[in-house]
């Protein structure tokens, strides 16, 4: 019996909202609030006849703390699910603290304006000290830990697939399969084909910023940074087949390095087709991925935002995308003094997702864990106060919920390793 405020109504939020409505005994009432209220109203009208969850909608600009506070005060939720963009993480956390409400999201904070001098100074110091240069990192949200603890509140960070489920897989491996973990390779494969020469599977601006950034991995207690897309491997994925994958910087490496300190190496690989890479390189070369505004005919335009307007809306890829995703983690380590290897992953079918919730598998594999993370907080399975990432909690009830609500795990005790 709970009341949940969901902020955002895009590709990922829409799946999470469908899934919440499948569990009305927990999600008794939800309010869908976003910048564009019409999208919330449309989804609410679609779902209302299919669920006993009571759905209301609201308009909110989550960049404005006072608007989020007013909405929380009016609605009185037990939890705020932030499924808007990473740009809104801090304002929504501030509002949750002001109102005494638990918080969760699916991606860590990054600023919308990377030219802001105040942010830039902190960022450049962090690049030097930490050794990686991605625009996003956990420091901004970890800085809220004491405030959430003192308020007796929980902030669950990054409950999507990666970050999210991948960290639960790590916690599960640590709890059940290994005494010590030596290496972790996170492998994110999208074997889906949408038929476009170039499109992104989730918010284009966030996606292209992530993919065009230098890659990095954790090795022997420090970051190793490499030029974007400069480490390539081929892997044969269960139910997908052979794919090229590239080493990327990814946010969960940062928290895993902290929470599984014995791991000597943690890497993240994502598959990309040649057409995607060629288009991205070309767009980058001509400046279309820039976040710095340019003046065009008297109007300020941010190139990457203009590009977003030209690209297909990720939400529209659902009916066209065929194939499967395969995302998981390969571990090496020791159990009872012996070397062992272990692979835990999920395979998800784009068309099956579309049939069930009207979205492709990328939104599905993020939206389902968002609902399952909320379920853990609302049913009292995860109660630690403060600001925490998924691997800090008991993985068992979360993975059981994922098995039940659409993302079942598969395992191999003799996987091919990545060199
Ligand atoms: P979309 O762009 O499809 O949706 C974003 C939603 O947030 C839209 O409804 C948008 O409203 C709303 N929004 C944006 N700015 C504001 C604001 N200031 N106030 C209120 N609402 C706002 O994004 P996705 O659904 O693809 O991604 C959602 C989140 O999921 C992102 O943070 C992304 O990084 C994360 N993600 C995480 C993954 C994981 O595995 N952990 C994988 C994929 C994504 P409007 O309609 O007006 O634009």
pLDDT at 314 over 90: no
- The confidence score (pLDDT) of residue 234 equals 97
- The confidence score (pLDDT) of residue 362 equals 92
d(CA 290, CA 390) in angstroms, rounded, equals 32
- If you measure from the C-alpha of residue 412 to the centroid of ligand 1, how many angstroms do you get, rounded to a whole number? 34
- The confidence score (pLDDT) of residue 183 equals 98
pLDDT at 139 over 90: yes
- If you measure from the C-alpha of residue 88 to the centroid of ligand 1, how many angstroms do you get, rounded to a whole number? 9
Mean per-residue pLDDT, 213-237: 96
Pocket test for ligand 1, best of 6, 8, 389 (most atoms within 8 A of CB): 8
pLDDT at 115 over 90: no
pLDDT range class, residue 201, cuts 50, 70, 90? confident
pLDDT at 97 over 90: yes
Mean per-residue pLDDT, 110-131: 92
- If you measure from the C-alpha of residue 332 to the centroid of ligand 1, how many angstroms do you get, rounded to a whole number? 35
Ligand 1: which residue has its CA nearest to atom 2? 203
d(CA 25, CA 54) in angstroms, rounded, equals 11
Two tokens, residue 359: 């979205």
Q: What share of the chain has pLDDT > 90, as a percent?
A: 91
The ipTM estimated for the assembled molecules is: 0.98
Residues with CB under 6 A from ligand 1: 7-13, 34-36, 39, 60-63, 83-86, 88, 106-107, 158, 160-164, 202-203, 206, 314-315, 366
Q: Over the chain, what is the mean pLDDT? A: 96
What atom of ligand 1 comes closest to residue 164's alpha carbon? 41
- The confidence score (pLDDT) of residue 205 equals 83
Neighbour-count burial for 62-85, b at 16+ CB within 10 Å, e otherwise: bbebebbbebbeebebbbbbbbbb
pLDDT at 14 over 90: yes
Ligand 1: which residue has its CA nearest to atom 14? 84
In 41-110, where do the E strands start and end?
Answer: 54-59, 79-82, 102-105
- Of 62-71, 82-91, 103-112, 205-214, the least confident: 205-214
- The confidence score (pLDDT) of residue 1 equals 84
d(CA 6, CA 30) in angstroms, rounded, equals 7
Pocket test for ligand 1, best of 12, 135, 189 (most atoms within 8 A of CB): 12
pLDDT at 113 over 90: no
Mean per-residue pLDDT, 24-33: 98
Pocket test for ligand 1, best of 15, 57, 61, 84 (most atoms within 8 A of CB): 84
Contact 342, 47 (CB under 8 A): no
pLDDT at 407 over 90: yes
Ligand 1: which residue has its CA nearest to atom 41? 160
pLDDT range class, residue 376, cuts 50, 70, 90? very high
- The confidence score (pLDDT) of residue 204 equals 85
Mean per-residue pLDDT, 225-241: 96
Is the torsion defined by CA of 333, 337, 339, 344 positive or negative?
Answer: negative
The top-level CATH class assigned to 165-354 is alpha beta
- Bridge partners, residue 341, by sequence: 332
Pocket test for ligand 1, best of 19, 34, 199, 250 (most atoms within 8 A of CB): 34
- If you measure from the C-alpha of residue 8 to the centroid of ligand 1, how many angstroms do you get, rounded to a whole number? 6
pTM of structure:
0.95
- The confidence score (pLDDT) of residue 291 equals 86
- If you measure from the C-alpha of residue 83 to the centroid of ligand 1, how many angstroms do you get, rounded to a whole number? 6
Domain positions in the chain are: 165-354
């Amino acid at each position: 019996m709970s009341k949940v405020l969901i902020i955002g109504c895009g590709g990922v939020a829409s799946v999470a909202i469908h899934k919440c409505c499948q569990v009305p005994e927990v999600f008794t009432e939800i309010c869908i609030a976003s910048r564009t209220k019409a999208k919330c109203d449309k989804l609410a009208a679609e779902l209302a006849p299919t669920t006993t969850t009571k759905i209301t909608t609201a308009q909110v600009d989550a960049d404005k703390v006072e608007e989020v506070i007013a909405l929380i005060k009016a609605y009185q939720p037990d939890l705020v699910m932030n499924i808007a963009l990473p740009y809104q993480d801090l304002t929504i956390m501030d509002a949750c603290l002001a109102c005494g409400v638990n918080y969760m999201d699916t991606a860590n904070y990054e600023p919308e304006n990377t030219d802001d001098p105040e942010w830039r100074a902190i960022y450049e110091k962090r690049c030097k000290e930490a050794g990686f240069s991605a625009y996003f990192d956990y420091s901004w949200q970890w800085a809220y830990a004491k405030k959430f603890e003192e308020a007796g509140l929980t902030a669950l960070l990054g409950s999507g697939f990666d970050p999210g489920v991948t960290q639960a897989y790590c916690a599960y491996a640590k709890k059940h399969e290994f005494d010590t973990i030596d290496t972790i390779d996170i492998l994110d494969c999208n074997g889906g084909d949408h038929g476009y020469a170039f499109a992104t599977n989730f918010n284009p601006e966030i996606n292209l910023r992530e993919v065009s950034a230098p890659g990095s991995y954790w090795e022997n207690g420090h970051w190793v940074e490499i030029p974007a897309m400069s480490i390539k491997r081929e892997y044969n994925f269960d139910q997908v087949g052979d794919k090229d994958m590239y080493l990327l910087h990814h946010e969960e490496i940062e928290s895993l390095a902290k929470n599984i300190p014995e791991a000597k190496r943690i890497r993240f690989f994502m598959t990309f087709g040649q057409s995607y890479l060629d288009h991205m390189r070309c767009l980058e070369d001509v400046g279309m991925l820039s976040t710095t505004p340019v003046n065009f005919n008297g109007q300020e335009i941010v190139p990457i935002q203009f590009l977003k307007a030209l690209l297909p809306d990720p939400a529209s890829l659902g009916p066209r995308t065929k194939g499967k995703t395969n995302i998981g983690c390969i571990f090496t380590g020791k159990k009872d003094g012996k070397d062992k290897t272990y692979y835990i992953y999920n395979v998800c079918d784009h068309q099956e997702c579309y049939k069930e919730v009207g979205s492709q598998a990328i939104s599905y594999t993020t939206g389902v864990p968002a609902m399952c993370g909320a379920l853990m907080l609302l049913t009292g399975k995860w109660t630690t106060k403060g600001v925490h990432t998924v691997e800090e909690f008991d993985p068992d009830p979360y993975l059981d919920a994922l098995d039940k609500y659409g993302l079942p795990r598969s395992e191999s005790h003799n996987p091919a390793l990545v060199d």
